[in-house]
Amino acid sequence: MTAELDGLKVAFLVAPEGFEQVEFTSPWEAVEKAGGDPALVSTSRGKAQAFRHLDRGDTFPVDAVVDDVTADNFDALVLPGGVANPDVLRTDPRAVAFTKSFFDQGKPVAVICHGPWTLVEAGVLSGRSITSWPSLATDIRNAGADWRDEEVVVDSAGPNTLISSRKPDDLPAFDAAVVRHFAAA
């Protein structure tokens, strides 16, 4: 294990059900391997149900609920994708406020696939550059962002560093960017 992240506390925010498993496990493992301290944060206690596209995947124990933690408890945030995950999160004011608080505090945020829907709802994309699953391009542009079809987009122009990727195939580049830019922050 390397110590690039040297105990950095990283929140992984997911809905109780519907997040894409590999978009959660791959960056989680990258953070752990780099010496970070990941925590699974959700809107409900217990276990969170991952999916492998449309099929149920594994369940993961929730470490904290958004009612009990704030961005003050973490150094960075990761928002995995999956279609249902960000759709549920963006309709939960607690999850939206939790997400927005990382931007308010200038902390790095990483997001992949459909995850930017939560950022659209949080109103934090104006003037930013970001990528996502292609079907979100119009929503992202309507939120005032520059949508790009690239493997990884790193935007440091705003109050924080925003790292984004399109899909599971981008995970090796996404994970490397997460570790590199979280360590720099």
Model pLDDT, residue 158: 86
| Known active-site residue 176 | no
Model pLDDT, residue 153: 98
Query: Alpha-carbon distance 174 to 150, whole Å?
Result: 11
Model pLDDT, residue 1: 44
Q: What backbone phi and psi angles, to 5 degrees, belong to 30?
A: -65, -40
SS (H, E, C) the chain: CCCCCCCCEEEEECCCEEEEHHHHHHHHHHHHHCCCEEEEEECCCCEEEEEECCEEEEEEECCEECCCCCHHHCCEEEECCCCHHHHHHCCCHHHHHHHHHHHHCCCCEEEECCCHHHHHHHCCCCCCEECCCHHHHHHHHHCCCEECCCCEEEECCCCCCEEEECCHHHHHHHHHHHHHHHHHC
Query: Alpha-carbon distance 6 to 35, whole Å?
Result: 5
Model pLDDT, residue 160: 95
Which residue in 14, 96, 113, 179 is the catalytic one? 113
Model pLDDT, residue 185: 83
pTM score, whole prediction: 0.97
**Hey, what domains does the chain have and what are their CATH numbers?**
9-184 (3.40.50.880)
Mean pLDDT by 10 residues, the chain (185 residues): 84 97 98 98 98 95 97 98 96 98 98 98 98 98 98 94 98 98 93
